[in-house]
Amino acid sequence: MKLSELAKEIGVDCAGDGPEIRGINTLTDARGDELSFFHNAKYARELETTQAAAVLVEERMVPLLPAGTIPLITDEPYVKLALASKHFARPPLRPEGADPILGAGCLLAPNVSLGRDVVIGGNVTLMSGVCIGDNVHIGDGCLLHPNVVVYPDSIIGSRCILQAGAVIGSDGFGFATTREGRHIKIHQLGNVVIGDDVEIGANTTIDRAAFGSTLIKEGCKIDNLVQIGHNSVIGEHAILVSQVGISGSTTLGRNVVMGGQSATIGHLEIGEFAIIYGRGVVTKSLEGRRHYAGFPLVEHQAWLKLQGKIARFFKGK
């Protein structure tokens, strides 16, 4: 829709008609026909270099915009983003589209559901109750156990195993809160991309990205009852044990191991080959090739020494 029409819908001013807007994206990834937003000072550098057609931004930050980018001035950029996102949300079902394409050797239970524009590789097995949304692509040799749900636009590589009840591509947990305390849904416009040779446990959920993709890279092994938030990146051959919780926009390097019930806050990075012991809570970015434990999280050897001192303290009582 025209930028002027979108601005009117969300209650901000726009001079002239403006360009045609075809989507919403981050400052870094936005193209010349997309809208972006700025609401956090730590992304000032991205604001200065964005290629977005227009940016929702507070008036004091307008001088940082590059020439040619149109400011949509508001004192609530994040709330206005939420209002704008609904205009680009995909319909839950596509009324039109191509019939599914299935490769040779596929086995489908009688009550499997396939959406429009689905492409499935060869020798894929879909068991009872599997539901595949519109425009999903699944590679060769995959096995989806009963009641797996794959939301629209998800991409799954080859030789992947999804255990019963796994949910791929459900909405990320994104809301903007108004000054009055109302929560406005940020429609999740991205998808999930899963690499080759990934295994995902029973009742694990992987959220679709708000913009762009949530990435599960090749060789990852993910246990039962794991939650992975939107826009996270799980590096090659990572291992996530049962009940791990990954907050949105977390990046794990290759071969990271997270023990049972460990968790992260969002917007941080864990270096390659790091190990987080069970129930460890990651609250800041971590160097790779080290072992960590506890809350607050410390290196594992320091945590062991602390536990020893605590035990001796109570024995002294």
Would you list the domain boundaries of the chain?
A: 3-88, 101-301
By annotation, the residues acting in catalysis are: 230
Average the pLDDT over each of 40-49, 219-228, 241-250, 253-262 and give the range with the smallest value. Answer: 40-49
Q: How many CB atoms lie within 10 A of CB 90?
A: 16
Q: How does pLDDT run across 289-298, given as a tens digit for each residue?
A: 999 999 999 9
**Would you tell me the crossing angle of helices 3-10 and 77-85 to the nearest 10 degrees?**
110
The confidence band for 317, taking pLDDT boundaries of 50, 70 and 90, is: low
pLDDT in tens, 58-69: 999 999 999 999
- Assigned fold of 3-88: 3.40.1390
Q: What is the mean pLDDT of residues 215-243?
A: 98
Q: If you average pLDDT over every residue of the chain, what do you get?
A: 97
pLDDT at res. 315:
85
Structure tokens at 56: 């929702």
Confidence of residue 234 (pLDDT cuts 50, 70, 90): very high
Give the dihedral sign, CA 258/255/26/138: negative
Architecture of domain 101-301: 3 Solenoid (2.160)
Does residue 263 register a pLDDT over 70? yes
pLDDT of residue 297: 96
What is the reported pTM?
0.95
Report the pLDDT value the prediction gives residue 128, as an integer from 0 to 100. 98
Separation between Cα atoms, residue 206 and residue 191, nearest integer Å: 10
Task: Spell out the residues 6+ positions from residue 86 whose beta carbon is closer than 8 angstroms to its own.
Answer: 185, 187
